[in-house]
Chain A
Amino acid sequence: MKVLTLNFLTCAVRACKSSSDSFPLHPKDAELASDDVEVNPQLLVNLLPRLDWKALRTTSAELGFPQLPEQPPTIEELQADEKTLKDLHSLLMETNLMEGKLVCGHCGHEYAVREGIPNFLLPSHLV
């Protein structure tokens, strides 16, 4: 699963849906793998407007990636700033979460990630 996916996921426990602490989920003991993907600035520019930037900054920091700027860059800024372009490309397009856990900041439930596939099925007492 691409790390980017974390921007679209939240805790599966119903009671956590209304809490802002359930997003983003926090990677724990994460093992990452990197694909080699060609840099495509336009792809990032089309993607950025739909991302939750604050959550992305949190994910980036928690995975030990370079600090992202406070505001999402514009197309001009992205094309002028090779470092941010590279950082974002690497984080969003190339990085996969292979093993570890995803932890909800509200209920503390840990979702196991194995062989790149997180398991969001809840034990029966949480359904």
Chain B
Amino acid sequence: MNNLTSSSSPDSNHRSTSLPAWMRDAGPASGPAWRSGVRSKNSAVQRTIEGLAAALITGVFSEKIASRPGRLQKMDPRAKTVSLLGLLLIAALVRQPLVLLALYAVTLAAARASLVSLRFFIKRVWLFIPIFAGLIVLPSIFNVVKAGDPLITIWNFGHEVRLGPWSLGSSIAITKQGLTGASILILRVAVSVSLTVLLAITTRWSDLLKALRVFFAPRIFILILSMTYRYIFLLLDIAAEMFTARRSRMAGPASAREDRRFAAASMGTLLGKSHALSEEVYAAMISRGYRGEALTLSKFHMRRPDWLLALAAAATGAAAIGADRLLG
């Protein structure tokens, strides 16, 4: 079964979005003017185009994985949503780094069983959020920032060192509490992001939205969510076109002032377009018989494997809580 795991890297097969590759590359093809200025590579226009393209790619690529015949994809969206969100809550409650590590292993196994390439999964999860959490939490492992029992003493002054009104104490050390706290935070963030990503990439968004009904989300809310999701991609496209058009009209780097004006003017234009669009969509809905009540087709059926998954998730949760109590 694992042989089916996609070996092709995600980078090679998700370029089929609206933006051609040359627009996203900051290579020489993007024109000499862009390479001369100091800001050329990091221009705000360029970065916005890249960000918008990345969001489009994420959306398209998630749908691609969601249509693979993996373990989680086959599950009833309601069972899957409840199970994964339940585990998310458990991951928020436990206090032992080891238990969090075990939960992380469970998410990796689930990803593998769902035909998600582990390389892609780990990259998608760890890039930015947990690594960022690690950077944020780093200072807190030192006794200078947060008090605790010294574990590894890095520098011993031998006397109290003062910087004006501040005292740095007599040594710089990594503390036991700081290190444990940091590993708990990073692991907890990683497990949470893993569970969220698993849910997002193994469920078609229309199914996920319908599954939210389980959590008593009002129908109108689901309707708005699904319309929003659909129009995000349209507006992303429009915005990417505006920024690309802007970039192709530029003969040299613009000043930050001009770029700010452009960002604000784009927001204004986009707002005008969005508003006109909503009027048109409303007219289209009315002419198709919409009267303010949203109706959805719901054809979910809980089958044996769905109950088994829910049971497995419940068992994992119970084991995690049990182990947490035992270790603590």
Q: Do A and B come from one complex?
A: no
Query: Hey, which bits of chain B sit against chain A, CB under 8 A?
Result: none
